[in-house]
Structures are given as structure tokens and as C-alpha cells.
Structure 1
Amino acid sequence: MATGLSIYVPCFNTGTNLSSKRQLLRRNANCQVRFRYFRKASFQKNLTTSSLKSPPEEPKSTASSEQLRRNGPGKKSSNSLLSASVSVPLLNRFRDADFKFDQLALDILAIALPAALALAADPIASLIDTAFVGHIGSTELAAVGVSASVFNLVSKLFNVPLLNITTSFVAEEQALIHTNEKNTAQINIDGIEENQGKKLLSSVSTSLALAAGLGIAEAVMLSLGSGSLMDIMGIPVGSSMRAPAEQFLSLRAFGAPPIVIALAAQGTFRGFKDTKTPLYATAAGNLLNAVLDPLLIFFCGFGIGGAAIATVISEYLIAFVLLWRLNGEISFTLSSIDGGRVARYLKSGGLLMGRTLAVLVTLTLATSMAAREGTVPMAGYQICVQIWLAISLLTDALALAGQALLASSYTLQDYEHSRQVIYRTLQIGLISGISLSIILFLGFGAFSGLFSADAEVLEIARSGLWFVAGSQPVNALAFVVDGLYYGVSDFGYAAYSMVLVGLISSLYLLVVTPAFGLPGVWSGLFLFMMLRLIAGIWRLGTKSFKLLELQLAPLQCNSQQFQSMSDSPPQYSPISITIKIEMEGCTQEQASAYRRRNETTMYVKK
């Protein structure tokens, strides 16, 4: 929902040309400013009211107030009200923010490190499956590769958006619960209750219900449509890969429901800032899969079907462990499923599906353009891309930490902490990207040698070193910014910007690659990540971002300073400014809390 906030702020002004100042203030598209005169005497009577009290101002606030008193209405300097509050570039603030290995940095790493290990567990499990299936035969190995590609495509398109949305929504609701428990007035928040010592969160129940329905739908589609999907993948009926590929995909489809439910549960734990529980559950499931693979494939003689059955059983174990742990903290009831939240999930999920589709199309096009260069260039390209994607898991975990922490602090209107989360996550992301870049430059030869012994393939792979290693700082910051989008539920911009970035990058690949070959593919992927980063930094630095409230903080001043201004010469004329901010997706309780928080004093002197 969109909630309009009208904040009446008493100000002093000495000028007569109000139109120029009105034009200056209205340059912010999210703020509507109007002036209303009232008698100075009546204004002084109100100086003792509680609404004029505000928290002690920060040093930056004092500087901003001094700058405002020095500027006139007609001066469009960098010290004007607009530039001091709304249009301060994000990069300048990021540069001025000192990096400290403080408790916040430890909190980020405490969330990111277990998440990175959990994200790395799935590729490792896939490698184990590949190793066992490879001992059956090359045909079975190729069939598993095709079927796994189809399954993973469906999973990324439908399941990953649910995971990201659940993380943000649960973190928001959990933060509101924490505030409600501390509030002596016990403000009633719809959808938050206690049931026999367990929390009743409508966001969790809604997510799990949607996950169950989505998982069943995926299972039916993959099982019944396996033949059609093989046709789409270019595997004809007479191919030797057709039968084993259909068999593997049909059996693998029964694992779709537990996968989606497990992802929803993982999103819930991430919203709780608990990434260790998903790590333990994933490790247990993958260990069981490694034990069952040889038993079912070779000892029981099930072949490729045994590999699929072992994977499905391990997925049910992961889902069971997560739900069992979650049941100790959350009470699940159908009555807690909120229709409004269902609509919000579906809307946000649709946006992220579009975003995911734009990413997949761009990466698939890059692979297609590389394949047209020949077998050897394609093999070298595949080595580089696999290393590139594997390294991205580390920065994905960092983005997850930023998302969970920002969602909580932003929901609580703790805007100073929200700023620090943004700065610290970006700083750690940049340091991580530079470190990974150095590691890859030094050790890329050893990494690439693990994938092939062909000298020509390795030569092509080494030619992509500048892309794989050099793009790591850009990749890290781009992934972190994505997490910050999700932390404030800015899913709309995340989707629309990605579609535009993907379109530009795809056109570049289509035009440049035929002329320059594989370097054109590398440059196209680098352009793709660079545009993602630019779009993200621009969004964080513009006044239309949802963290607009953070940029208004420097205008606050305490009641003592304001009292001293009341003794000003008679030429001071008080005015009242109404700032109206449209906040998408905020509840009425959040809007009221924001209004109360911003009933403070500001003044302007020409």
C-alpha cells in the first residue's frame, strides 16, 4: 500500500521571495512543499510543547544547520536545503564513511560465512552425482546433464524469487515483533500473535503455503511434460539420451515439493539472521546423498534412476530438518495465512521472476555466442564461466547478510543503523572483490588445470583471466547492491533495471561478438555486470530510493538550538513546511511511527 505522510515542520525564514525557495524545495519529486505563515508570538508559545523535542543531533547536523543559516533563498549553492538533505551523492557519503571492523562487521560476517558454505554445498553435491553417474557411461552422463539443466532452470525461475522475498518479509515482521515486545503500550500489529510460546507470523505461514502449492505444480509439470521438455532441449525421440534423460527428470520431479518448501524455510531462517541451521540441514542431506548414490546406482542396480532417487531422498531430509527446527519457534496455522500478504508475495515474486528471466536470457545468449566460435573456444569459455559463477556464491552470501540486516533496521525506522549497514556491506563487498581478484590472478592456472588437460582449451581459458579476475570487484558490489534492494523490498526497480540492463547487454553481444569473437563475449558479460552496478549505485544515490528518509536526517536539530533561534531579531518570519512522502509497501503502523519520529525542529535563514 502507499501511505502519504504529512509532516509539519516549524521553520524560520527572513526572505520575502518565497517562490524561489518553493521551487528549490520542489526539485525533490517525492516531496510536496507549501508555506503557511503564522504569528511569531503564537509560535513562541508552542516552543515548550513535546513535539519540538528531538534526539541529540549528530555533528553532521550542526554543520548542515550552520550552512543553511549562511545561505540565501536565491543561492543555488551546494549548501542549500535541497543539496544538504536530498541530493548528496551516495559515493561521497560512502567515501567519507570510515571502515571499522566493529560489531556490525562481525554481524555481517556471522551471517555471510555460514550462508556461503551452504551455497557451496549444492555445487559440491552435484559434482559427487556427476562423478558416480560418469562411471555408468557417457550417454547417461550427458542425459543427466540435460535433465539437470532443465530442472535447475525451473528452480531458478520460480524458487529463488520466493527465497529472496521470504527473507525480506520475515525479517520485517520479526523486527516488528521485537519492537512490539519492548513497547510498554503493546501496540497491536495485525498478524503477530503468540501461541503457546511460539510466534505466529503470517509471512512464514503464507510463504510455506505458497511453497507447497508451487512445488506440487512444478512436480506435475516436470513429470508429465518431460517428453516435451526434451523436445525443446533438442533431444529427439530416437536419440540414445532420450530415454535416460526422461527417466531421470521424471523421478527428479518428485523432489520439487521438498526443494521449494526447504527454500521457503531457508528464507525464514535467513530472516531470523540464522544461516547456521540451513547449513547443518544442507550438509546432512548432501551427506546422505553421497552415501545413497553408490548403494542405489551400483549395489541395487538402479543405474541413473538410483542417482535421481538418492537426490530426492536427500531433499526430503533437508526439508524435514528445517521444518522440524522451525516448528520449535513458529506456530503454523491456516488461519494465519493473510490474503494481503499472498497478493504481496505474488506481486513481488512476479517482479523477481522477470528479473531472473532477464539474467538467464543474457547468460544463455553469451553461452550461445561462445558456442558459435567452435568446440575449443566453447570449452575454454565454459571453464571460465564455471569458475566465475562459483566465486559469485561468496558475494551472494554477503548480499544476503546485507538484505537481512537492512530489512530489520529499516522496518524499525532505525535509519542511522540502516545507513551503517549499507556502508559496511558495500565496504566489505569491495574488499572481498579485490581479494578474490588477487587470488584468481595468482591461482587461475591451477584452477583451470582441474577442468581439462587439453593445452588449446587451457590457453583459451587463460585468455579469459582478465575477465574472470578483473571483474570480481564489480561483481561483488553489484551482488551486494542487489541484496540492499531486497532489504527494503524494492523489487520493482530491481526487476525493471535488470530487464533494461539485460537488453542493452544482449544487443551488445549480438553486435560485437561476430566481429571480435570470444573477447566480445567477455566484454559483453563485463558490460552486463558494470551496468548492474551503475544502476544500483544510481538508485542508492537518488532521492527516489526508498531510503529517502535517511537523507533528511542532517536537517534535524535539538530543542536547545531551536530555543536560541526564538530570540532572533524581529525580521525572522516563521513558516510551516509540509513534506509529503509517498512510501510504497509500508503499513499504517510504520507510517505512524515515521510521523512521530520526524516531529522535530528545522529552521532556514536566508
Structure 2
Amino acid sequence: MLMTQAPAAPKAARRQHDREIVALAVPAFGALVAEPLFLMADSAIVGHLGTAQLAGLGIASALLTTAVSVFVFLAYATTAAVARRVGAGDLQAAIRQGMDGIWLALLLGAGVIALALPTAPALVDLFGASEAATPYAVTYLRISILGIPAMLVVLAATGVLRGLQDTKTPLYVAVGGFVANGALNVLLVYGAGLGIAGSAWGTVLAQWGMAAVYLYVVVRGARRHGASLRPDAAGIRACAQAGVPLLARTLALRAIALIATAVAARLGDAEVAAHQIVLSLWNLLSFALDAIAIAGQAIIARYLGADDPQGARNVCRRMIQWGFVSGAALGLLVVAARPVFVPLFSGDAAVQDTALPALMVIALAQPICGIVYVLDGVLMGAGDGPYLAWAMLATLAVFAPAALLVPTLGGGLTALWAAMTLMMTVRALTLWLRSRSGRWVVTGATR
């Protein structure tokens, strides 16, 4: 009897892990996909104003996206810290930890405004904007900067809710924000006749609306559990210190993306155009895999906070399986959709011929990417930020020379994306070695 029942427990545990992963990952994916729709809606509306306006929007959006993505650690670090407290059964401390992250977001947002408002023209000039596009870029940038604190609050509050094992609320807020953004843009750009400034104001209002909803949800939870809402200097400082390694990791990732684009630009116009097509698909696939990683952050941190190291290891193994299978499925989808996908972006035969083999490379890389994203999420959930930072810097050190040699050694865009695959392989190796070592398994309400 015992022999027949023994295998059932692991199977039941796997099913429980699967349910948890799906429950968190599916809404997280929806929220991740909804966020880029802000820019798509703005581009579609502003594009009808003229080419110069759209070019100005593109330059300003690149700067704004960079400013927000640099501080993505507000979501990652807060998720892990809050989930640990949840696992330890201390919801009051969990929400208090989340409030520290939100206060840090407001401080950082104020700093960005103070720095970027007076330097907006200089920042636009760095991108080599044309005389026609420059005034539109400066206008959009100066107005949209006022929404940066709201977006940073959204990041931190999203981390709070993910740590509380809630990814549905961020999905609802993201969808609501997208709808409000589109409606406000149309009303202010065309109805009020404000042009590109109307688009910027519409986005800022939608962003602050999202931040207000998040703050309402978090404040309500804080009052329910008796958590203080006042800023705590020690707690804010601890959040900032926890975020430094993740900031270094993010900057290294941004450097990799910039190097890849710079190399593609040196290869020729057809190559850089094809690179943008391939990169857009790469980013879309990343959203799907990152949703699983987000689930991993929340679940792993909860198990470690509950002093259940074996449970954390079991979830880690299951997450790796999810990552590999999801990556393989996405790779097959890329192969199947490849002939249809590229013509959607360009009718130029040279661009299509350049993009198609590069897409095959990223299709083959997806199983590796799936493992990388999952293990990245696991180690973030464990609060293993310093290792993630050093591992990413080591990856950058391998990728940079490999990518920069592409124009000299040949191989074109396909070789460049082979270098990107090498980068992901190095990341997979460093993360797998860390997961195997078990040094990330540190239990308790705090790391």
C-alpha cells in the first residue's frame, strides 16, 4: 500500500506548483504585454500628426523607456522582500516593507524630474534629432517626465502585489490604464487640439491614475493589517541597498542591447532594419518567459520566508521544466510564423532575406532563454542580487568582444544574433551553476 502511494505525493506537489505558476504567470503576462501598448497607442495617434511629430515621439520615448527600465529593481526587489514576509506569516511587515519601496520610488521619481527637466534639450541632442523633430521631442519629453514618479510607484506597488501573490490586480490596472491612455490621447490631441503635447499629457494623466489605484489598494491593505504608512528612513535605505545589485544587472543588460543595435547599424541599412524586426519579436517572446519568472520570484521567496528550503528547491526544479518547455514551444512558433511575421514589418526583399535566418537563430535559442528567465526569477526571489550582478557583468564581458568582432569576421546579422545566443548561453551556465550550488537557499523573513 505504501509503495503504491509513494509516487502520488510528488505528483500532487507538481500539480500544486503548476497551479500556482499558472495562477501567477498568466495575469503577469497580460500586464507585461499591456504596458508596451501605451507606446503603440501614442505612436498610432501621433503618427497622424506628421512625420516630424512621430520622430520626436520616438526619441523622447526611447529616453523615457530607459529612465523607467533602469529602476525596474523597484518591482523585483520589492516582490522578493514582501513575499518572504508573506511566507513567514507576517502580513503587516510585508506591507510595511512594500511601503518603503513605494517611498523610495517617489524619491527617485522626484530626483529624475529635477535632473531631466532642465536637461531635456541636451538629452534630445544626444540622439541626433533633426531640426524638425527636436522641438516635438523636447515638448513630449518635458511633459512626460512628470509621469516618471507615477511609473516608479507603479513598479514598486506592482512588486508589493506580486509579493502578496496577486498578479490579477496589476493586470486589471494595466488594461484600465491602456484604455484611459488611448481615450485621453484622442481627446487631448484632436479634441482639444494640443497636438503632441496632448499625447504627453494624456499619458501622464493615465500614469498617475494607475499610481492612484495602486496606492489605494496598498493603503487599504496597510490599514487592514495595521501597517504604518509613514516613511521610514532605515527601511527606505534598506530597499535602496537591496536594489543596487539589480540596478547593476539592469545596466549591463541595457549595455548589451545598445551594443547589439550599434553593431547592427554598422552592418548596413538593411541589417539594422532587419535587426529591429528580430528585436521586436525577441522582446515579445521575453514577455511570455518573464511572466513565468515573475511567478518564480513570488513563489520562491514565499517558500524561503516560510523556512521551507526543500519546497523552494522543488519549485525551482519545476520552474526549470516550465522554462525549457515554454521556450521550446515558442521556438517552434517562431519557425512556423517566420514567413508571415517578417512581411508585416517590411516589403523590402533585402530586409526580409536578412531577417529570416536571424529569426531561425532566435528560434533555436528559446529553450535556453526559457531556462535563463526562470533561473533569473528564482535567484531574484531568493534575494541573490549580488550574484546576479556579477554574473551579468561577466556575461557582458563575453558578449561585447564577440559582437564587436562581427563586422570584421563577417556573418552579418545572423552572426550578431548568434552572439546574442552565446550571451544567453553564458547566462544560463552562470545561473545553473548557482542554482546547483544551493547557496541561494537562505530561509527566513529577511535575507
Structural mapping, 1:541-556, within 5 Å: 541-542=436-437, 545-547=439-441
Relative to structure 1, is the Cα distance of residues 430 and 100 closer, same or farther in structure 2, using a 3 angstrom cutoff?
farther
| Superimposed CA distance per residue, residues 477-533 of structure 1 (whole angstroms, 9 cap, x where no aligned partner) | 101110011111000000011001111100111123322122221111111111010
Paired amino acid for 1:124: L
2:127 counterpart of 1:215: no
2:375 counterpart of 1:481: yes
Contact 2:331 2:367 in 1 (8 A): yes
Higher helix share: 2
Q: Which residue of 2 aligns with 1:365?
A: 259
Structural mapping, 1:246-395, within 5 Å: 246-331=138-223, 333=228, 335=230, 337=232, 339=234, 341-395=235-289
Paired amino acid for 1:530: T
Q: Which residue of 1 aligns with 2:128?
A: 234
| Superimposed CA distance per residue, residues 264-284 of structure 1 (whole angstroms, 9 cap, x where no aligned partner) | 111000001100001111111
2:51 to 131, 138, 148: 138
Relative to structure 1, is the Cα distance of residues 537 and 98 closer, same or farther in structure 2, using a 3 angstrom cutoff?
farther
Any gaps of 5 or more consecutive residues in structure 2?
1-5
| Superimposed CA distance per residue, residues 531-575 of structure 1 (whole angstroms, 9 cap, x where no aligned partner) | 0101000111125x222xxxxxxxxxxxxxxxxxxxxxxxxxxxx
How far is the alpha carbon of 1:343 from its aligned partner? Answer: 3.3
Paired amino acid for 2:219: N
Supply the distance in 2 between the matched residues of 1:541 and 1:212 (Cα, whole angstroms).
Answer: 38
Paired amino acid for 1:302: L
Supply the distance in 2 between the matched residues of 1:147 and 1:321 (Cα, whole angstroms).
Answer: 26
Q: Which residue of 2 aligns with 1:518?
A: 413
Alignment identity in percent? Answer: 29
Q: Which residue of 1 aligns with 2:17?
A: 104
| Superimposed CA distance per residue, residues 228-273 of structure 1 (whole angstroms, 9 cap, x where no aligned partner) | 211222237xx11111110000000010111111111110000011
2:398 counterpart of 1:504: yes
2:354 counterpart of 1:460: yes
Q: Which residue of 1 aligns with 2:3?
A: none
Contact 1:474 1:529 in 2 (8 A): yes
The structure with the largest alpha-carbon Rg is 1
Supply the distance in 2 between the matched residues of 1:148 and 1:213 (Cα, whole angstroms).
Answer: 22
Q: Which residue of 2 aligns with 1:201?
A: 95
Paired amino acid for 2:389: A
Contact 1:170 1:271 in 2 (8 A): yes
Supply the distance in 2 between the matched residues of 1:297 and 1:401 (Cα, whole angstroms).
Answer: 38
Q: Which residue of 1 aligns with 2:79?
A: 167
Supply the distance in 2 between the matched residues of 1:221 and 1:200 (Cα, whole angstroms).
Answer: 32
Which stretches of structure 1, 4 residues or more, deviate above 4 A after TM superposition?
97-101
Q: Which has the higher contact order (CA 8 A, sep 6+)?
A: 1
Supply the distance in 2 between the matched residues of 1:277 and 1:396 (Cα, whole angstroms).
Answer: 18
Structural mapping, 1:412-451, within 5 Å: 412-451=306-345
Contact 1:121 1:282 in 2 (8 A): yes
Secondary structure at the aligned position of 2:20 is classed as helix
Paired amino acid for 1:526: T
How far is the alpha carbon of 1:338 from its aligned partner? Answer: 5.7
Relative to structure 1, is the Cα distance of residues 523 and 293 closer, same or farther in structure 2, using a 3 angstrom cutoff?
same
Give the TM-score normalised by the residue count of structure 2: 0.93
Q: Which residue of 2 aligns with 1:534?
A: 429
1:116 to 5, 26, 29: 29
Supply the distance in 2 between the matched residues of 1:156 and 1:203 (Cα, whole angstroms).
Answer: 22
Supply the distance in 2 between the matched residues of 1:98 and 1:443 (Cα, whole angstroms).
Answer: 35
How far is the alpha carbon of 1:128 from its aligned partner? Answer: 1.6
Give the TM-score normalised by the residue count of structure 1: 0.69
Secondary structure at the aligned position of 1:234 is classed as coil
Relative to structure 1, is the Cα distance of residues 338 and 222 closer, same or farther in structure 2, using a 3 angstrom cutoff?
closer
Higher strand share: 1
RMSD: 2.2
Secondary structure at the aligned position of 2:132 is classed as coil
Relative to structure 1, is the Cα distance of residues 110 and 320 closer, same or farther in structure 2, using a 3 angstrom cutoff?
same
Supply the distance in 2 between the matched residues of 1:513 and 1:399 (Cα, whole angstroms).
Answer: 34
Q: Which residue of 2 aligns with 1:579?
A: none
Relative to structure 1, is the Cα distance of residues 451 and 590 closer, same or farther in structure 2, using a 3 angstrom cutoff?
closer
Q: Which residue of 2 aligns with 1:572?
A: none
